[in-house]
Amino acid sequence: MHSVRHYRPPWMLAILLTACSSPALAGVSVAPVDTVTTPPPAPTSAATPVPIVTLVLTHSLPPSTTPTASPAPALGPTATPLCTEIQGAVVSDQFTSASLSTAIKMRVYLPPCYEEETWRMYPVLYLIHGLHMSEKTWDELGADEAADELIAGDEVPPFIIVMPRAPDDDRFTEAVAAELVPYIDSHYRTAADRASRAIGGMSRGGGWAARIGLQYPELFGALGFHSPAIFNADEDKVWRWLNALSKNLHPRIYIDIGQADAQPDSAQWLDSALTERGIDHDYHLNPGGHTAAYWTTQLPDYLRWYAAAW
């Protein structure tokens, strides 16, 4: 069974009642991780890497310039044919972070026709991996293939996926907000606004997504917590971050957990905290555990949800 609960604030329910009366590695699983969260954290995925584009881009801190889009081609007898690509590309990129005093490595999914349709600006999804994993993990789980299929089927618009390596360093929060986001906006053709930007993660990556997204709500219009593992040190902070959210900066929020997940506490706790505050969110209880196979199975639903507002 697939259980989905959409919480809505009491005032919204009242309105509805009044009107009625007159959301690559399938089959491979990993054991739960063993640190950082209230429940035990999730382990690395034993995934076998899949081939990616071998281009490696290395840059310094972001320049002040921002990529600009070319005008859309005019349609007519002499117009350039529209791009018919159905497969995007994954490139490796990195830049030196002043906050971390080291390089932030990442994989970046560029949708089909990114190189050809230079007039288009793209929404951006940031996906963070779990404990003992790397920037390769979401790619190995099939994020790019899932995005290609959904885009080809016109289920979602084309968008960019940024998959950074998250170090075991609290300063990563600031590095994402102050350096990674500006770097991506200045080196790729992004729609550089809150409504076109989302962040999410699996297991401990969900903890990072909560820590970053709730502290910088002006940057991210949507937050995804997939089998989340909230940092132990963040338990009290999450309450304060939620209380500090202004109504005009409430992000869209998605929480999911497998029915056989041995670490459901963070997902259930987040659901309760949001419900108690009347904050609109989606909570999904699905078949599966805290495994690579579970996240691969759920990837299409994740991407549909993130792209729903784009």
pLDDT for res 106: 98
What percent of the chain clears pLDDT 90, i.e. is strictly above it? Answer: 71
pLDDT digits (tens, 9 = 90+) for 263-274: 999 999 999 999
Question: How would residue 65 be classed by pLDDT, with cut points 50, 70 and 90?
Answer: low
Question: Is residue 44's pLDDT more than 60?
Answer: no
pLDDT for res 287: 98
CA-based nearest residue to 308, from 151, 143, 156: 156
What percent of the chain clears pLDDT 70, i.e. is strictly above it? Answer: 75
Crossing angle of the two packed helices 204-215 and 235-244, in degrees rounded to 10: 30
Q: What is the mean pLDDT of residues 172-195?
A: 98
Question: Is residue 18's pLDDT more than 80?
Answer: no
Question: How would residue 179 be classed by pLDDT, with cut points 50, 70 and 90?
Answer: very high
Contact, 183 vs 106, CB < 8 A? no
Q: What is the mean pLDDT of residues 170-188?
A: 98
If 0-12 CB within 10 Å is exposed, 13-18 middle and 19+ buried, where does residue 149 land?
middle
3-state SS, one letter per residue, for 136-181: CHHHHHCHHHHHHHHHHCCCCCCCEEEEECCCCCCCHHHHHHHHHH
- DSSP conformational letter for 29: -
Question: Is residue 209's pLDDT more than 90?
Answer: yes
Q: What is the CATH number of domain 27-60+86-307?
A: 3.40.50.1820
Average pLDDT score, the chain: 84
pLDDT for res 36: 37
**Cβ partners under 8 Å of residue 126, min gap 6:** 161, 162, 163, 164, 176, 180, 181, 197, 198, 199, 200, 220
Question: How would residue 28 be classed by pLDDT, with cut points 50, 70 and 90?
Answer: very low
Q: Rounded to whole angstroms, what are the CA distances from 30 to 18, 41, 293?
A: 48, 12, 8
Question: Is residue 198's pLDDT more than 60?
Answer: yes
pLDDT digits (tens, 9 = 90+) for 269-302: 999 999 999 999 999 999 999 999 999 999 999 9
Strands laid side by side in the 197-202 sheet: 3-7, 281-286, 252-258, 222-226, 197-202, 124-128, 160-164, 102-110, 89-97, 56-59
Question: How would residue 146 be classed by pLDDT, with cut points 50, 70 and 90?
Answer: very high
Question: How would residue 241 be classed by pLDDT, with cut points 50, 70 and 90?
Answer: very high
Question: How would residue 68 be classed by pLDDT, with cut points 50, 70 and 90?
Answer: confident
Question: How would residue 71 be classed by pLDDT, with cut points 50, 70 and 90?
Answer: confident
Q: Where are the domains of the chain?
A: 27-60+86-307
Name the least confident of 51-60, 88-97, 126-135, 248-257. 51-60
pLDDT for res 79: 56
Contact, 203 vs 197, CB < 8 A? no
Dig out the tokens for 219 from the structure. Answer: 């940057």
pLDDT for res 63: 52
